[in-house]
Amino acid sequence: MSVALFDLTGRRALVTGSSQGIGLSLALGLGRAGAALVLNGRDATKLEAAVDGLRRQGLDARAAAFDVSDPAAVAAGVARIEAEIGPLDILVNNAGIQRRMPLEDFPVETWRELMRINLDSVFYVGQAVARHMIRRRRGKIINIASLQSEAARAGIAPYTASKGAVKNLTKGMCTDWARHGLQVNGIGPGYFATPLNQALIDNPDFDAWLKARTPAGRWGRVEELQGAAIFLASAASDFVNGQILYVDGGVLATL
């Protein structure tokens, strides 16, 4: 198989929620594969620091700070990228939050916040970017789902609901947009050592349970998601559509 299948030279990628953690690692991987990068987040200061870090590694990176849970901000932000930075070939919908508490105690306003960021943003940004991709008859959209798109755990029912919806929205985007030359797929990370999971990492009981439950016997490293993103962003996946690629160390494969 030709290495050129995985070459992203000449392509431009927008990665939401990419000032740290999984999003920043995915951007780094896409950049090392040749893509020009547009990082997105709400905190302009953190975003610029992330961009500077990528540039110091010789990558082409720009910042686009806007709130992906605000449809008007998304429309303006995507239009500005297309007009001032250049056309987007790749979108990674990565922005997300976690809120842990028993479902019976979960506040309505927190439910709505989680759904706005984890699910609504995928629709808002996906639609805004896809409208440009459809006109160009090509594009790659990668939605970050989760192990929780398939399995629940106590205390995170709303997160599980949001990521299950992201999985099915990915299938819906494929169904509507594949005929226009777009490939829409998802990545379902298992348990990775990220700021989002810091409370779990610091919990000795959970840490021990996770390592025993995972066939690989450890937490994932964020750089181990880069290969999946490069594959789904590249010509190597041109006939892959509507799929979720789980990168979980084998959790879903075993009881």
Catalytic residues: 159
**Strand, helix or coil for residue 116:** helix
Taking the C-alpha atoms of residue 66 and residue 253, their distance in angstroms, rounded to an integer, is 38
Q: Please provide the distance, in angstroms rounded to a whole number, between the alpha carbons at the two ends of the chain.
A: 35
Look-up: residue for tokens 């927008």? 14
CB atoms inside a 10 Å sphere around CB 217: 11
Helix axes 108-115, 157-177, angle to 10 degrees: 30
Rounded to 10 deg, the angle between the 157-177 and 121-136 helix axes is 20
- Residue 143 · residue 122 · CB < 8 Å: yes
Distances (CA, A) of 172 to 14, 163, 175: 21, 14, 5
221 DSSP assignment: P
Tally of CB atoms within 10 A around 122: 28
Reading the block at residue 127, the tokens are: 């639609």
CA distance 148 to 142: 17
